[in-house]
A and B are shown apart, each in its own frame.
Chain A
Amino acid sequence: MSQGPSIPLRQRLLSWFFLFLGALYFFLPLIATLEFSLRAKKGVLSFLAYERVLRDPKFVQAFTFSLEMALLTVIVGVILVVPTAYWIRLRLPQLRPIVEFITLIPFVVPAIVLVFGLIRVFSRPPLLLTNSETGTQILLVAGYVVLVLPYLYRAVDTGLQALDIRTLTEAAQSLGADWWTIITRIIFPNLRSAILSGAFLTITIVMGELTMASFLVGLRAFGPYMSQVGQNRAYEGAALAVISFMLTWAFTTLFQFVGRRALGGDQTFVAR
């Protein structure tokens, strides 16, 4: 049988060509943005735009605010999704198509509709929430949980699929474990990498989210802030885009690293 090296040269060149084309499509705009962001000072390349962005207290504020919202969204989302997905797989498999459909709603209903709905319902008694900071933040997190549902639910459900949860549950029960113990000591730890990947997607989405943030909290959030800077100041906007890109990548790497290290159990997936 012919091995790797005997793949025809023409075919190999063609593969490389398409890979190059793909890379070009991805990296060219990024490189262009990067190049542009370095031209804030006329005639020379400098980090001036970056200095200005990072020195702006509003940047740090907006960034921290959105990160907080993102983490809250992850916490609320995970607490909501993990037990639900677990229970559906364990006891209510006939409900799965329905729940899957529900989690897909954010793809069908645009964020703008969702946020108007939220504002309409919660801007009058008895559920008045829009008149206080905490209130709007609660609404924002609630909206984000819905928005990231498709990603989070799917990530967790896929993680559950890789486990024989029924037998694991029964094994734990026969050893005296109650539901709380089963979920916290067996289900959560074994889903760690699935939860992490869901959490990572959630953070990425929330950090860049514009629509809901604009209507509920305005420039306090990172998305609206980026959009405003981009409109008013070209170089800083480009620098901001590059920064947020880098942060996203840093997050990915961090999660991959933490995910791999902190896990004993998840390695079984590899072993299988």
Chain B
Amino acid sequence: MAYLSLTGLSKQFGQTIAVEHFNLEIERGELVSFLGPSGCGKTTTLRMIAGFEYPTTGQIVLDGVDITHLPPNRRHIGMVFQSYALFPNLTVAENIAFGLKIARRPLEEIRKTVQEMLDLIHLSDYGNRYPYQLSGGQQQRVALARALAIHPRVLLLDEPLSALDAKIRVELREEIRRIQQTLGITAVYVTHDQEEALSLSDRVVVMNAGHIEQAGTPFEVYNYPKTRFVASFIGQLNLLPVQVSDPARGVVLFKNTPIQVELTAPLAGVSEATLALRPEELNLGEVPGRNHLRGKVLDVMFLGAIVRVRVDLQGHEALADLFNERQMSLPRVGEEVTLNFPPHACWIIHE
């Protein structure tokens, strides 16, 4: 049995259903992130694990014990909040010691743990400062240390980086992952930022409108999205309307141009469908054995490592992400270009 299992979880606020039919098993030491747009139920689910909300139906079992109706202060689950939530009247060290003092740990142990935690977050000399004397990033590190000091059974992080600026966000995200792996702690991370979710999770749970759309490794979720929502929510995606012409061999037509698709699901009985294609799978020029689409360049965005070309394919826009090279000649606006991509790069969505 999994370390933390959520079974048939649902939550209703009055008439609104925030979460429904939520089933998930989380293994010990795993970092799972809940990814989705705001209002998708990811925070509500996290708050049910924390005990701040009680589920309308369903069960939460942690380490073999049903904790569904246990009050939050008896769950031994650490939580990091978007707004840091440090106690303004306590110093950094006192904040970190708070949970240990409540647990009535011996003073010597508290002192030692606090110092360990301060070292862990690289704020060894900041113990005597007050939260208002720290930057946002430092405050969030302290909040992390405070949550970890009690050696929680699970660490919950509710959009912990959303209030920080871009550079700190990336730094701290790597640090969270490092600490989580060092301590081998089980963590659930809520975010609406796909890059964050993909880069630090063992598994990503994509949520929409209160239910799970797909759960899998970042690689799976990005490359093999199971639903249209997942496909379009994670990463950029080109969607082209196509007619199925040969369902058996996987040939579809886009404005009379045949496209070979590697079949993953049968197409029999389907006439209209959508072809999905990641921009980074598209290249310029003609290559034998690949699919080709002709179009007109609408604009060219130089993003550094990537050159993003927007192409008009007979009334449908598509993006092509090309890797930057020094010898490369950038396509010009208005130029006619040919885009190529292999059959295995695209897939058919029909719902």
Chain A residues engaging chain B, CB cutoff 8 angstroms: 163-164, 167-168, 170-178, 181, 186, 189-190, 192, 263-268, 271-272
Contact = CB atoms under 8 A, between A and B. Distances in A.
Interface residues of B, number: 34
Given A164-B83, A170-B50, A267 B130 contact: yes
B228 interface: no
Nearest to A182: B73
24 contacts: A164-B83, A167-B81, A168-B85, A168-B87, A170-B72, A171-B81, A171-B87, A173-B71, A174-B77, A174-B79, A174-B147, A175-B99, A176-B74, A176-B99, A177-B73, A178-B73, A181-B102, A189-B89, A190-B88, A264-B90, A266-B88, A268-B88, A268-B130, A272-B132
B150 interface: yes
A171 B88 contact: no
A78 B99 CA distance: 27
Contact of A174 (B73, B87, B90): B73
A268 B146 CA distance: 19
Contact of B87 (A186, A266, A271): A186
Given A173-B72, A174-B73, A178-B73, A264 B147 contact: no
A209 to B, nearest CB: 33
Contacts of B103: 176
B88 A175 contact: no
A172 B132 CA distance: 18
A266 B90 CA distance: 10
Contacts of A268: 88, 130-132
Interface in B87-109: 87-91, 98-99, 102-103
Given A174-B77, A175-B98, A265-B87, 4 more contacts: A170-B81, A174-B50, A186-B89, A268-B88
Contacts of B71: 173
B52 interface: yes
B173 interface: no
Contacts of B156: 174
Contacts of A272: 132
A167 B75 CA distance: 17
Closest 4 CB pairs of A and B: A265-B89, A175-B99, A271-B132, A171-B85
A263 B88 CA distance: 10
Given A176-B99, A176-B103, A264 B146 contact: no
B117 to A, nearest CB: 13
B199 to A, nearest CB: 26
Contact of B85 (A170, A177, A178, A189): A170
Interface in B128-178: 130-133, 143, 146-147, 150, 156
